[in-house]
Amino acid sequence: MSQKSERRGIHVDQSELLCKKGCGYYGNAAWQGLCSKCWREEYQRARQKQIQEDWALAEKLQREEEAAYASSQGAQSQPSLTPFSKFEEKKTNEKTRKVTTVKKFFSPSSRTAPKKESHEGKTPSPSITRQSSIETDRVSRDFVDFLKNLQKPGREIHKQSRAFIENMANKKDLGADELSECVQDFYQNMSDRLMTHFKGSTERVERVMDQVEKYIMTRLYKNVFCPETTDDEKKDLATQHRIRALHWVTIQMLCVPVDEEIPEVSDNVVKAITDVIEMDSKRVPRDKLACITRCSKHIFTAIKITKNEPASADDFLPTLIYIVLKANPPRLQSNIQYITRFCNPSRLMTGEDGYYFTNLCCAVAFIEKLDAQSLNLSAEDFERYMGEEPRAEPGVPEPGPADGAGARHDRVLEGARGLQSDLIGWQESVEREVREILEKYPLEIRPPASAIDSDNVENDRLPPPLQPQVFAG
The 10s digit of each residue's pLDDT in 430-445 is: 998 888 888 888 877 7
pLDDT at 55 over 90: no
Residue 6 above 60 pLDDT?
A: no
> Is the model's pLDDT at 110 over the cut of 50?
no
User: How much is the pLDDT for 245?
Assistant: 92
How far apart are alpha carbons 31 and 135 in whole angstroms? 31
For residues 227-256, average pLDDT: 92
**pTM for the full model?**
0.61
* pLDDT band for position 79 (cuts 50, 70, 90): very low
The pLDDT of residue 74 is 67
364-398 burial, b if ≥16 CB within 10 A, otherwise e? bebbeebebebbbbeebbbbbbeeeeeeeeeeeee
For residues 184-213, one letter each, b for 16 or more C-beta atoms within 10 angstroms of the residue's C-beta and e for the rest, the string is bebbeebbeebeebbeeeeeebeebbebbb
The band of 80, judged by pLDDT with boundaries at 50, 70 and 90, is very low
Q: How confident is the model at residue 70 (pLDDT cuts 50, 70, 90)?
A: confident
Q: How far apart are CA 243 and CA 238, in angstroms?
A: 9
Q: What is the average pLDDT across 423-434?
A: 89
Distance between CA atoms of residues 126 and 343, nearest Å: 23
Distance, CA of 415 to CA of 434 (rounded, Å): 29
pLDDT at 416 > cutoff 90: no
The residue type of 414 is: E
Higher-pLDDT residue of 422 and 126 is 422
With a CB cutoff of 8 Å and minimum separation 6, the contacts of 372 are 378, 379, 381, 382
Give the percent of the chain with pLDDT over 90: 34
Rounded mean pLDDT, 80-108: 51
402 CB contacts (<8 Å, ≥6 apart)? 381, 384, 385
Q: Based on the number of CB atoms within 10 Å of its own CB, is 353 exposed (0-12), middle (13-18) or buried (19 or more)?
A: buried
pLDDT tens digits for 166-223? 999 888 788 888 999 999 999 999 998 888 887 767 888 899 999 999 999 999 999 8
The CB density around residue 20, as the number of other CB atoms within 10 Å, is 13
What separation in angstroms does the CA of 309 have from each of 21, 263, 315, 351?
34, 18, 11, 23
Between 103 and 186, the more confident residue is 186
pLDDT digits (tens, 9 = 90+) for 364-413: 999 998 888 888 888 888 888 887 543 444 444 444 444 455 666 677 87
Greater model confidence, 104 or 226: 226
- Residue 352 CA to residue 295 CA, distance in Å, equals 12
The reported pLDDT for the residue numbered 421 is 85
Alpha-carbon dihedral of residues 181, 184, 185, 190, nearest 10 degrees? 160
Which pLDDT score is estimated for 401? 45
| Cβ atoms < 10 Å from Cβ of 228 | 9
How confident is the model over 297-325, as pLDDT tens digits? 999 999 999 999 988 888 999 999 999 99
pLDDT at 258: 94
Model pLDDT, residue 150: 84
**C-beta of residue 102 within 8 angstroms of C-beta of residue 142:** no
Residue 279: partners with Cβ closer than 8 Å, 6 or more residues away: 288, 291, 292, 329, 335
Q: Measured between alpha carbons, how far is 294 from 353 in angstroms, rounded to an integer?
A: 10
Residue 120: the pLDDT is 40
